[in-house]
């Protein structure tokens, strides 16, 4: 049998406690004994990253990004060491390596750094010595030797980038569900597992809130055409393949429903309706590193108007502060914010050729007495901002409306 290079990534829930770490070690060893070379990427144990973040916020409301990276990167260093120990305890040789040791070079954007290059040499050398390599996910190092992290969910990105660097045959993402579903199976019990999904659709779902994969990891997988197999670390069944579209794949109009409860809405009142004001507001906000999503501005009849937009909840204070600074210069009215919103989206590449999906979505929400506050669309998705406490009901209704509970997908 040919020797294969396999990359496996185990998420936080898969290594949440001692028994689970031992389970992961058994799965790794099973793959190894089939004559493979394996690099394993691990996330921090359970909720470690959330806990560390909360700890920092108890010290200061505005922890410096560099120190945050020093702190958060420790989570993955703990788990890779423990998994390596567990593999060795099963009688197989393993070595744990952190981001710097693996040679993951990033830019200097602390807390959401981009990978510039990976030097796969250290991993290949370990393979030559018959070792299983356990890599700390979510982290890298800058050219000036500063530790960085790759954004929440960043171990997925580490796995994809390592698969690319090693030219791996397979990249498997092990998690606590059996694959990618039509919607979050923890919210809608009728959600169905997808046999496969395209990079485009998965990227859209991930960007719109399907937590199961980090969006940036899908971008990289798509760029280098690295098929991903998302599957369960607790069950053996086949999961979902994330692939480039194939001719055989049926173009269903709606592939999935997503929900994001981690955004907040900001409304800037009494904005002078003249050229350049929106540019100043959004330039300032982008300069503090905040990504703005749906933006709504009405045509004014009185020379002043309101602008509403959404930002990640974690960036709310930064965005408000930036808008206030512009306000002092150009004379904006009050700034309102609201974090009781949710984004509910329908996603599917078949939408390009199926008209009427937006109308069906709006009608379903209306029939359920759910008010739409903002709307945005892309080529393969439609999103509505609604009240957060109505979000789960909206997802269930849309899932049913688009027959996602019935189709063989």
Per CB under 6 A, which of residues 72..91 are in contact with ligand ASP?
75
Which of ligand ADP, ligand ASP, Mg ion, none sits in contact with 120, Cβ below 5 to 8 A by type?
A: none
**Distance of CA 278 to CAs 84, 212, 264, 379, Å?**
52, 34, 19, 24
C-beta of residue 6 within 8 angstroms of C-beta of residue 168? yes
Q: Residue with structure tokens 């069944």?
A: 237
Query: For residues 25 and 212, which CB has a smaller minimum distance to ligand ASP in the complex?
Result: 212
Phi, psi of 205 (to 5 degrees): -60, -45
Per CB under 6 A, which of residues 208..237 are in contact with ligand ADP?
210-212
- 20 binding ligand ASP? (CB under 6 A): no
User: Minimum Å distance from CB 80 to ligand ASP?
Assistant: 12
Q: What gap in Å lies between CA 119 and CA 166, rounded to an integer?
A: 9
User: Minimum Å distance from CB 173 to ligand ADP?
Assistant: 7
Closest C-alpha among 339, 383, 338 to residue 358:
383
Q: What gap in Å lies between CA 315 and CA 264, rounded to an integer?
A: 9
Tokens of 129: 């010595």
**Distance of CA 1 to CAs 34, 93, 166, 197, Å?**
9, 21, 19, 29
Which of ligand ADP, Mg ion, ligand ASP, none sits in contact with 210, Cβ below 5 to 8 A by type?
A: ligand ADP
**Distance of CA 51 to CAs 48, 132, 312, Å?**
5, 29, 19
Tokens of 389: 């406490």
Tokens of 205: 């779902």
- 256 binding ligand ADP? (CB under 6 A): yes
| Residue of the chain from 46, 99, 137, 179 that contacts ligand ASP (CB under 6 A) | 137
Which of ligand ASP, ligand ADP, Mg ion, none sits in contact with 121, Cβ below 5 to 8 A by type?
A: none
Which of Mg ion, ligand ADP, ligand ASP, none sits in contact with 204, Cβ below 5 to 8 A by type?
A: none
Per CB under 6 A, which of residues 212..251 are in contact with ligand ASP?
none
- 99 binding ligand ASP? (CB under 6 A): no
H, E, C per residue of 214-251: CHHHHHHHHHCCCCEEEEECCCCCCCEEEECCCCCCCC
Window of 151-159, 297-305, 313-321, 399-407 that interacts with ligand ASP by CB under 6 A: 151-159
Tell me the residue number closest to ligand ADP, measured at CB.
11
- 154 binding ligand ASP? (CB under 6 A): yes
- 43 binding ligand ASP? (CB under 6 A): yes
Which of Mg ion, ligand ADP, ligand ASP, none sits in contact with 180, Cβ below 5 to 8 A by type?
A: ligand ADP
Return the beta strands (E) in 107-169 as ranges. Answer: 115-118, 132-136, 139-141, 147-149
| Residue of the chain from 40, 120, 126, 181 that contacts ligand ADP (CB under 6 A) | 181
- 346 binding ligand ADP? (CB under 6 A): no
Question: How many residues form the binding site for ligand ASP (CB under 6 A)?
Answer: 13
By DSSP bridging, strand 4-10 and strand 256-260 are: unpaired
Tell me the residue number closest to Mg ion, measured at CB.
153
Q: What gap in Å lies between CA 246 and CA 257, rounded to an integer?
A: 22
User: Minimum Å distance from CB 292 to ligand ADP?
Assistant: 23
- Torsion of the alpha carbons at 301, 304, 310 and 315, rounded to the nearest 10: 180
- 154 binding ligand ADP? (CB under 6 A): no
- 48 binding ligand ADP? (CB under 6 A): no
Tell me the Cα Rg of the chain. Answer: 23
- 49 binding ligand ASP? (CB under 6 A): yes
Closest C-alpha among 28, 265, 59, 243 to residue 135:
28
Query: For residues 39 and 44, which CB has a smaller minimum distance to Mg ion in the complex?
Result: 44
- 186 binding ligand ADP? (CB under 6 A): yes
Window of 100-108, 134-142, 181-189, 316-324 that interacts with ligand ADP by CB under 6 A: 181-189
381 alpha carbon, distance to own chain's centre: 17
- 255 binding ligand ASP? (CB under 6 A): no
> Interface residues with Mg ion (CB under 5 A)?
11, 153
Q: What gap in Å lies between CA 21 and CA 78, rounded to an integer?
A: 12
- 15 binding ligand ASP? (CB under 6 A): no
Residue ranges that bind ligand ASP, judged by CB under 6 A? 11-12, 43-44, 49, 75, 137-138, 152-156
Q: Which chain residues interact with ligand ADP by CB under 6 A?
A: 11-14, 43, 153, 175-177, 180-181, 183-186, 210-212, 256
């Amino acid at each position: 049998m040919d020797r294969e290079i396999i990359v496996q990534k185990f998420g936080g829930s898969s290594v949440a406690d001692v028994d689970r770490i031992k389970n992961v070690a058994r799965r790794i060893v099973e793959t190894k004994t089939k004559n493979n070379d394996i690099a394993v990427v691990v996330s921090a144990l359970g909720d470690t990253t959330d806990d560390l973040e909360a700890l920092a916020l108890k010290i200061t409301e505005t922890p410096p990004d560099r120190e945050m990276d020093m702190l958060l990167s420790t989570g993955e260093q703990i788990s890779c060491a423990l998994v390596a120990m567990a593999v060795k305890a099963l009688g197989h040789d393993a070595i744990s390596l952190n981001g710097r040791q693996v040679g993951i070079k990033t830019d200097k954007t602390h807390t959401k750094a981009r990978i510039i290059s990976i030097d796969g040499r250290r991993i290949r050398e370990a393979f030559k010595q018959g070792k299983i390599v356990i890599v700390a996910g979510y982290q890298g190092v800058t050219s000036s030797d500063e530790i960085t992290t790759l954004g929440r969910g960043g171990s997925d990105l580490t796995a994809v980038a390592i698969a690319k660097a090693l030219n791996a045959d397979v990249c498997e993402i092990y998690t606590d569900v059996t694959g990618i579903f039509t919607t979050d199976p923890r919210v809608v019990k009728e959600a169905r597992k997808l046999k496969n999904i395209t990079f485009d659709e998965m990227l859209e779902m991930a960007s719109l809130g399907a937590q199961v994969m980090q969006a940036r990891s899908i971008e990289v997988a798509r760029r280098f055409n690295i098929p991903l197999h998302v599957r369960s670390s607790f069950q053996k069944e086949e999961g979902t393949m994330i692939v480039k579209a194939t001719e055989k794949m049926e173009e269903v109009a709606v592939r999935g429903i997503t929900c994001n409860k981690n955004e907040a809405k900001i409304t800037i009142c009494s904005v002078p309706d003249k050229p350049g004001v929106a540019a100043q507001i959004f330039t300032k906000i982008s300069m503090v590193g905040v990504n703005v999503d749906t933006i709504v501005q009405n045509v004014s009849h009185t020379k002043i108007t309101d602008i509403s937009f959404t930002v990640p909840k974690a960036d709310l204070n930064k965005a408000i502060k930036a808008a206030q600074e512009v306000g002092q210069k150009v004379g904006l009215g009050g700034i309102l914010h609201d974090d009781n919103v949710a984004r509910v989206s329908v996603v599917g590449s078949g939408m390009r050729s199926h008209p009427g999906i937006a109308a069906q979505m709006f009608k379903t929400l209306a029939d359920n007495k759910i008010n739409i506050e903002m709307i945005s669309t892309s080529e393969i998705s439609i999103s509505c901002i609604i009240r957060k406490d109505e979000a789960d009901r909206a997802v269930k209704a849309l899932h049913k409306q688009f027959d996602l509970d019935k189709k063989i997908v």
